[in-house]
A and B are shown apart, each in its own frame.
Chain A
Amino acid sequence: MLGSRGGGSKQSGMVIRTVAAGLVCLTAAACTSGGSKAGGDSGTPTAGGDLKFATSVEPECLDPEVGARDVDALIDRNIFDSLVEQAKGGTFKPWLATSWTVSPDQRTYTFTLRPGVLFHDGTPLDAAAVKATLDHAVDPKARSYYAASLISAYSGATVVNATTIAIHLSRPSRPFLQALSTPYLGIQSPKSIRENGTSLCQKPVGSGPFVFDNWAKGTSVKLSRNPKYAWGPPTAAHTGPARLNSLTFSFVSEDSVRLGALTSGQADVISEVPPHDVTVVRKVDQLLTAPEPGAVYTLLLNTRYGPLTDERVRKAFQRSVDFGKLVDSVYAGQYKRSWSVLSPATPDYDKATANSWPYDPALAGSLLDQAGWTGRDAQGYRTKDGKRLTLRWPYSATMQRDQRVVFGQGIQAEAKKVGIDVQYASEDPGKLGADLNSGKNLDIFAMSFVRADPDILHFYFGSDQTVAKGGGNMFQLSDASLDGWFGTEIATSSPAAATTAVAAAQQYINQHALALPTYASSYLLGAAHKVHGITFDPTAYPLFYDVWLGK
């Protein structure tokens, strides 16, 4: 999706918290405990304190089933619990559900719920509450843009008894449990769904470690500790209520202002440290990083109309850009060049893709010669029958972040060296949407999508995932080989079969240059030394349940 949602709606993944914490420590000097200049209080966690977190965007809606922005989920994770928690190796741990069974045809999931769980309004958690949340997610009136698409196979639920619910699917869906583990399917108080109606966005009521306190529009969202909380997720470092008294998210859109707020002690934690300011943060505070799973920032290529229908031209473009050098210089070594559309932090990422399509301008040149683009015009661009080799790449300026415009200009400059005219230009979002609908007026469209499940590949390239069908297949690619692997990936009950299928799809996309993966980003979080216990969930969201403040 474009922009806020194009930045990537996040879903969770398979790296459990302890592993994520380990990854944090791999980046030197970024360790929460070791190597930091924290006072001598890093040993015993203490309760109390108010944490101020400055993040770049304001949520649109805190109803987890409706809000689709990253920041919606980031905040909702503290207010809402999920049925299951995603754990290492594609397994799932009990959370609000203590156990579950899957029917042999994989179309019915039966969950047993944890007793004694209370929503913030005092309503107890029961099977009817779970059904109310799922029905709300797929209710067209609720206008869920994202949660509904995650559980598109959901066909209804049966309340077996107060603590048992049977969820029915219209078709087998391997990513279903993973979808349930995300904040986007956090369980809401049924009383709140019934009574708050259209104002659910402003009045979220869940069962999580923090209770929604208030939302000062344009300024901040404040949450306070839920003193009754006794049902934390299994991989958390402690049990019982959260340690912080309160958690305030303020919205500071300017990168430099967020950074200044952190270094001057006005914010305890900030999101999205610009890659070039990482050294500043390391000098004064701590830098915590988590690699983001999902589809990396990828150039999707138009294989239906225009010059890129010729595979030789696509491969020439693929080999004409020195992505390694470009990523290093634009992102100051903080983001890594990616060889696969799946980021290395995604389950079933295929290591064999590494170095499989190195920079090779000579090869690019000969491929273009073979494709008949042998002429040259006055500006040095290649021509065929007097027509210049032009690739149109429009983007929406309001939705660019992370220096992507500079990065795009870098690609443009590299392609020019082999004679390809990449027309990288800002376009009105409405015009861009119309171009995407027709598919005839653009050759390249770029986006990333944070999601900790390999099914994101299916979402990008499956012929059943075109935009009109609710997917992200922007150029309506229809490829029988890919569809076969996606079919296996979605329906198999064998993790090994899914891994093999996803690996084959990743290699196939590179071999036929259907898309150009560029860089894999990391969540870069700046935190004051007094902040302890920040971990990341499988989607690279920071978690606050275990967090405590030292001196």
Chain B
Amino acid sequence: MSPQDTQDRPDTRDGQVKGGGPAGSPGTANLWRWLVRRLLLSVVVVLGSATAAFVALYLLPGDPVQTMLGPTGQTPALVAEVRHETGFDHPVYVRYGLFMGRLLRGDLGQSYQLHQSVKSLIFDQLGSTVELAVTGFVLALVVATVLAVTTAGRRPLLRGLASTLELVLASLPGFWIGVLLLTFFSFRWQLFPAVGGSGVNGLVLPSVTLALTLLGVFAQVMREGMERALSEPFVLSSRARGASETTVRVRHALRHAMVPMVTLSGWSVGALLSGAVIIETIFSRPGLGRVLVSAVNSRDLPVISGVVVVSAVAFSAVNLLTDVLYRVVDPRLKEAQA
């Protein structure tokens, strides 16, 4: 990040590109080409993950049909029936072809254990996980922003205290935080439900738990970004023009601190999904995490690959979004591409 004196007036730069001319001008064409390339890449990622899931499940030891049935009660007739019904009587390349063919048509197959369509199973549960992930993410982002803006470059005691707290949070397992919150806020003071939490009340503890697991990393990265920005010449020039401390921090430095945050947001999809697995279990919430855990336990292959595909789609979508966001937050990128 080389210091540029225009960096504190990004609006001007923005204006340049936005007003870069009607559709068909070099800037816009480049943008579209870039977007199409990124979209194609996303499709490759999703198909690649589906293939990886298929290969991983294929490589697992043991006969999948017998594993599915459990060790007792496997009459040859039942094994044959289930093998036929699940398509395991075909050679592996046929199964792969069928699997990918169905996937391209948007069909995720039928759950072996739950006797219901994987698509309806996943989409019934997806909303709950998205709700948890989005709330947790926004909460973490807001608190991290407040922490970073107020403590960056401040007195060592205040800064050190906030930083220590963040480090402790970042190293605590989500499982432990969740049980601790439940013990006090649900079992002792009964402010929030521990079981069957539907609606806003039921969302508070799970999303706070998720936010706390992310908060440490978010705040650390943001503070560092803030501090780097605060030490740059444009801050000095802005202060020299008489801008107040709040204006300097919120209007100028924060925007710089947001750049690494965008990268982190892409990364956090993975963290949010794996956090959801644990949090949904502790808080007995419906959601993809719980579906995945029980599917892995019972070797419900169509459900496992379904969740992998949906997660890959979510991951690609968010990363595409972050790439777009970069261009909004950091106008230098647009200039480089245009």
CA distance A474 to B71 in the complex (A): 8
Contacts of B69 in A (CB 8 A): 145
- With an 8 A cutoff between CB atoms, is A291 at the interface? no
* A431 close to B72 (CB less than 8 A): no
Contacts of A1 in B (CB 8 A): 70-73
Nearest residue in B to A469 (C-beta to C-beta)?
A: B75
- With an 8 A cutoff between CB atoms, is A252 at the interface? yes
With contact pairs A66-B115, A217-B121 given, residues A472 and B72 touching in the complex (Cβ less than 8 Å): yes
With contact pairs A58-B294, A140-B81, A252-B195 given, residues A430 and B299 touching in the complex (Cβ less than 8 Å): yes
Contacts of B280 in A (CB 8 A): 218
Contacts of B82 in A (CB 8 A): 143
- With an 8 A cutoff between CB atoms, is A261 at the interface? yes
Q: Which residues A340-387 have CB closer than 8 A to chain B? A: none
* B66 close to A437 (CB less than 8 A): yes
Over the window 442-476 of chain A, the binary record of Cβ atoms lying under 8 Å from chain B Cβ atoms (1 yes, 0 no) is 00010100000000000000000001111110100
* A218 close to B287 (CB less than 8 A): yes
Q: Which residues B25-83 have CB closer than 8 A to chain A? A: 60-64, 66-67, 69-78, 81-82
* B294 close to A257 (CB less than 8 A): no
* B196 close to A218 (CB less than 8 A): no
CA distance A398 to B295 in the complex (A): 11
Contacts of B70 in A (CB 8 A): 1-3, 5-6, 145
CA distance A260 to B194 in the complex (A): 8
- With an 8 A cutoff between CB atoms, is B265 at the interface? no
* A430 close to B63 (CB less than 8 A): yes
Q: Which residues B292-326 have CB closer than 8 A to chain A? A: 294, 296-299
With a 10 A CB-CB cut-off, give which of B67, B76, B77, B285 has the most chain A CB atoms.
Answer: B67
- With an 8 A cutoff between CB atoms, is B284 at the interface? yes
CA distance A277 to B182 in the complex (A): 17
Q: Which residues A134-151 have CB closer than 8 A to chain B? A: 140-141, 143, 145-146, 149
With contact pairs A3-B297, A264-B186, A266-B195 given, residues A253 and B281 touching in the complex (Cβ less than 8 Å): yes
- With an 8 A cutoff between CB atoms, is A251 at the interface? yes
CA distance A437 to B65 in the complex (A): 13
State which of A5, A60, A257, A433 has its C-beta within 8 Å of the C-beta of B63. Answer: A433
Q: How far is the CB of A24 from chain B (nearest CB, A)?
A: 25
Q: Which residues B122-177 have CB closer than 8 A to chain A? A: 124-125, 128
* A436 close to B71 (CB less than 8 A): yes
With contact pairs A54-B195, A256-B179 given, residues A430 and B128 touching in the complex (Cβ less than 8 Å): no
State which of B63, B75, B125, B282 has its C-beta within 8 Å of the C-beta of A468. Answer: B75
* A433 close to B66 (CB less than 8 A): yes
Contacts of A217 in B (CB 8 A): 121, 124-125, 286
Contacts of A399 in B (CB 8 A): 297
State which of A2, A52, A201, A219 has its C-beta within 8 Å of the C-beta of B71. Answer: A2
Contacts of A219 in B (CB 8 A): 196, 198, 284-286
- With an 8 A cutoff between CB atoms, is A78 at the interface? no
- With an 8 A cutoff between CB atoms, is B113 at the interface? yes
- With an 8 A cutoff between CB atoms, is A267 at the interface? yes
Q: How far is the CB of A53 from chain B (nearest CB, A)?
A: 10
- With an 8 A cutoff between CB atoms, is B267 at the interface? no
Q: How far is the CB of A64 from chain B (nearest CB, A)?
A: 14
CA distance A528 to B62 in the complex (A): 45
CA distance A357 to B304 in the complex (A): 47
Q: Which residues B101-134 have CB closer than 8 A to chain A? A: 113-116, 121, 124-125, 128
* B64 close to A140 (CB less than 8 A): no
With a 10 A CB-CB cut-off, give which of B63, B183, B196 has the most chain A CB atoms.
Answer: B196
- With an 8 A cutoff between CB atoms, is A250 at the interface? yes
Q: How far is the CB of B317 from chain A (nearest CB, A)?
A: 23
CA distance A145 to B81 in the complex (A): 12
State which of B62, B81, B114, B179 has its C-beta within 8 Å of the C-beta of A428. Answer: B62
With contact pairs A198-B115, A218-B290, A250-B195 given, residues A428 and B61 touching in the complex (Cβ less than 8 Å): yes
* B66 close to A260 (CB less than 8 A): no
CA distance A474 to B70 in the complex (A): 12
* B67 close to A429 (CB less than 8 A): yes
Contacts of B183 in A (CB 8 A): 260
CA distance A66 to B60 in the complex (A): 27
Over the window 314-342 of chain A, the binary record of Cβ atoms lying under 8 Å from chain B Cβ atoms (1 yes, 0 no) is 00000000000000000000000000000
Q: How far is the CB of A463 from chain B (nearest CB, A)?
A: 15
* B67 close to A267 (CB less than 8 A): no
CA distance A252 to B74 in the complex (A): 30
* A218 close to B285 (CB less than 8 A): yes
CA distance A253 to B196 in the complex (A): 12
Contacts of A218 in B (CB 8 A): 125, 128, 280, 285-287, 290-291
CA distance A261 to B190 in the complex (A): 10
State which of A60, A260, A472 has its C-beta within 8 Å of the C-beta of B182. Answer: A260
- With an 8 A cutoff between CB atoms, is B188 at the interface? yes
Contacts of A202 in B (CB 8 A): 116
- With an 8 A cutoff between CB atoms, is B266 at the interface? no
Nearest residue in B to A60 (C-beta to C-beta)?
A: B113
* A429 close to B299 (CB less than 8 A): yes
Nearest residue in B to A140 (C-beta to C-beta)?
A: B81
Contacts of B77 in A (CB 8 A): 140
Over the window 180-221 of chain B, the binary record of Cβ atoms lying under 8 Å from chain A Cβ atoms (1 yes, 0 no) is 001100111010011110100000000000000000000000
CA distance A140 to B78 in the complex (A): 7
* A146 close to B73 (CB less than 8 A): yes
CA distance A264 to B184 in the complex (A): 11
CA distance A115 to B297 in the complex (A): 44
Q: How far is the CB of A285 from chain B (nearest CB, A)?
A: 13
Contacts of A5 in B (CB 8 A): 70, 72
* A434 close to B125 (CB less than 8 A): no
With contact pairs A145-B73, A250-B284, A264-B188 given, residues A433 and B62 touching in the complex (Cβ less than 8 Å): yes
* B194 close to A257 (CB less than 8 A): yes
Q: How far is the CB of A205 from chain B (nearest CB, A)?
A: 16
Contacts of A445 in B (CB 8 A): 71
With a 10 A CB-CB cut-off, give which of B62, B116, B285 has the most chain A CB atoms.
Answer: B62
- With an 8 A cutoff between CB atoms, is A271 at the interface? no
Q: How far is the CB of A104 from chain B (nearest CB, A)?
A: 30
- With an 8 A cutoff between CB atoms, is A31 at the interface? no
CA distance A146 to B72 in the complex (A): 10
Contacts of B291 in A (CB 8 A): 218
Q: List 25 A-B contacts (CB under 8 A).
A: A1-B71, A1-B72, A3-B297, A52-B195, A60-B113, A61-B115, A143-B81, A143-B82, A145-B69, A145-B78, A199-B116, A217-B121, A218-B285, A250-B195, A252-B195, A253-B281, A257-B284, A260-B183, A261-B195, A266-B194, A267-B195, A430-B299, A433-B63, A433-B67, A470-B75
- Contacts from B to A (Cβ < 8 Å): 60-64, 66-67, 69-78, 81-82, 85, 113-116, 121, 124-125, 128, 179, 182-183, 186-188, 190, 193-196, 198, 280-287, 290-291, 294, 296-299
Other than the given A1-B73, A52-B195, A266-B193, 9 more pairs (CB < 8 A) read A141-B81, A143-B82, A198-B115, A248-B196, A257-B284, A433-B62, A434-B63, A470-B72, A470-B78
Query: Across chains A and B, which 8 residue pairs bring their CB atoms closest together, nearest first?
Result: A430-B62, A218-B286, A260-B187, A470-B75, A431-B61, A472-B72, A1-B70, A264-B187
